[in-house]
Structure 1
Amino acid sequence: MVQLTDEAAEAHARLLVNSYRRWVGQELIHLTPGLSLAEQIDESPVIVLSHGTEADPVLYYGNYAALKLWEMDWQQFTSTPSRLTAEPMEREDRVRFLAQVTQYGYVSNYTGIRISSTGRRFYIKQATVWNLVDEAGLYQGQAATFSQYEDL
């Protein structure tokens, strides 16, 4: 993972992969055994991002594809409240949607308009959003993945 210690990066990668498998019943990305999970997710062309559990959740992780899409470096990305990835008029829908994810564990085939740090608007398609739950069953935030988007 881009700016986390190796240990923290691998732990978060395991959380992403295991939580996705738990809720969706599939692999997050094609994984090669024996290689770093963190590096594989970082370098995947599939966009993967997550936010924490704060009252106003802050983005915790974005792979290289996510950083490029949102036009941010690691420091900017991981200090951004996740609500700011959506335009103001889209934020109420986003809140309702994330409540559904919390209730059901995950939701797939999500679509929505997002905005980059430079104001570029894009429409994400067929995203899966899921709850991050650690091995002890504790809620650790939410994550999203998608590979399809269209600039608006």
Structure 2
Amino acid sequence: MKSLALDTEFAELLADSHLRLVGAPLVERDIAPADAARWLYEDAPFVLLAHNTDADPRFVYANRTAQRCFEYDWDEFTRLHSRLSAEQPNRDERERLLDDVRSKGYSSDYRGLRIAKSGRRFWIEKAIVWNLVDRAGVYRGQAARFADWTDA
């Protein structure tokens, strides 16, 4: 499978879906469109994650900030089922959030407990989760961004 880390079409899907559904730009205005994929992956000051549409969704994207936060490298992240980013007792709450996003398009100001590779637990704060819907209206998964997290 092709890596989406620096894929310009995937970066456009992330940014375009975010703008249409959330109503705010994902990429800083002074970043040229040609540089958006690199900026989102390497320099964005927030965690940016995306999972696919599988019945048990798997991460397909995790920027460098996400990799540092969750302690997984790209290859590990993109083999990880997204439900495993939360511990079992917190998965029902996470699933309710994702169901809400599927029906409404996005959710903002989400707070939830997550777990890193090392077992470190942390709270994500003020997260925005949105559907990835391409310009043809095809549902391609969900994405999340957050800039605030604190160890639990």
Measure, in 1, the Cα distance between the counterparts of 2:13 and 2:89.
31
Structure 2 matches for 1:1-152, cutoff 5 A?
9-31=7-29, 32-42=31-41, 43-152=43-152
Greater displacement, 32-41 / 137-146: 32-41
Calculate the aligned-residue CA RMSD, in Å.
Answer: 1.7
- SS of the residue aligned with 1:143? strand
1:65 Cα deviation from its structure 2 partner: 0.1
User: Is the alpha carbon distance of 1:66 and 1:148 closer, same or farther for their aligned partners in structure 2, counting shifts above 3 Å?
Assistant: same
Structure 1 length normalisation: TM-score?
A: 0.93
User: Is the alpha carbon distance of 1:127 and 1:6 closer, same or farther for their aligned partners in structure 2, counting shifts above 3 Å?
Assistant: closer
Q: Which runs of 5+ in 1 are unaligned?
A: none
Measure, in 2, the Cα distance between the counterparts of 1:7 and 1:117.
20
Measure, in 2, the Cα distance between the counterparts of 1:122 and 1:7.
24
What do residues 117-146 of structure 1 show as CA deviations (whole Å, max 9, x unaligned)? Answer: 110100000000000001110000000001
Structure 2 length normalisation: TM-score?
A: 0.93
1:29 Cα deviation from its structure 2 partner: 3.0
Measure, in 1, the Cα distance between the counterparts of 2:80 and 2:6.
20
Structure 1 residue runs of 4 or more that deviate by more than 4 Å after TM superposition: 3-8
Letter in 1 for 2:32: P
- SS of the residue aligned with 2:12? helix
Q: Which runs of 5+ in 2 are unaligned?
A: none
| Count, aligned residues | 150
Percentage identity across aligned positions? 41
Measure, in 1, the Cα distance between the counterparts of 2:5 and 2:87.
34
Measure, in 2, the Cα distance between the counterparts of 1:28 and 1:34.
12
- SS of the residue aligned with 1:55? coil
- SS of the residue aligned with 1:57? coil
Measure, in 2, the Cα distance between the counterparts of 1:14 and 1:148.
24
Measure, in 2, the Cα distance between the counterparts of 1:72 and 1:131.
23
1:7 Cα deviation from its structure 2 partner: 9.9
Greater displacement, 101-110 / 21-30: 21-30
